[in-house]
Amino acid sequence: MSLMLEPSEDSWARSAIEEALRLTEEWFRSLPPFEPRVNLGSVVGHKFPALLSEQDGVIHFARFLNEAGVPWDAIHHQVAVSRWLFDAPHPAATQTTIGERRRRIDLALLRSDEFLSAKLPATEQGFQFDAFLEFKYLSDYWTLPKAQVFGGDPVRGRESVQADVDKIARHLQTNACRLGYVIVFEECSWGFEEAFAANAQAASGCRVRFLRGYN
């Protein structure tokens, strides 16, 4: 039996995502750091051996999603929103980047039974992914003595999170997904306004969650 929900209803994925957020932040705060940490000035080593890239954060979040009850075959990495999924006149079919490259989603959630029952490509409203999740990993490298700061951090980091919010917002507006999250691993304060997450959700429905490795 299809478990398709109306677009106005919360997805089954929401409770699992929120539980995975709790588990991931608990894990993030428990990580043992490098002591001493590499700091050559021109380059600063990562803080934790468990997180050497943004994609490491994605991998571990997927692990906690599975622990929260999401089956592995419902978790999809680097999904391109392609014409075999959504085709004109469905509004999600137009979601491309500059140069007409299909936007890729860090993690997309969709149960296999619903996927199998869908008529693809979807050309009208109805078929949706349960959730699209984008990730950002904001290191504390720029706070260390003598560190070379690249690209205008921390302002650049805040702008990159806003760009992900805008990206997810477009997918929500075109009904490509029921839920949209931007999940930020933040090793130190990057100066986000206190109301940033609330404002993003009120404006577009995109849920921003900060996983903070500090108190």
Q: Per residue in 32-45, pLDDT tens?
A: 999 999 999 999 99
Q: What pTM value is reported for the model?
A: 0.92
What single string gives the DSSP state of each residue in 116-182? HHS-SSB-STT--EEEEEEEEEE-SGGGSTTPPP-TTTTHHHHHHHHHHHHHHHHHHHTTSEEEEEE
Reported residue count of the chain is: 215
pLDDT interval class at 90 (50, 70, 90):
very high
Mean pLDDT of 90-97: 77
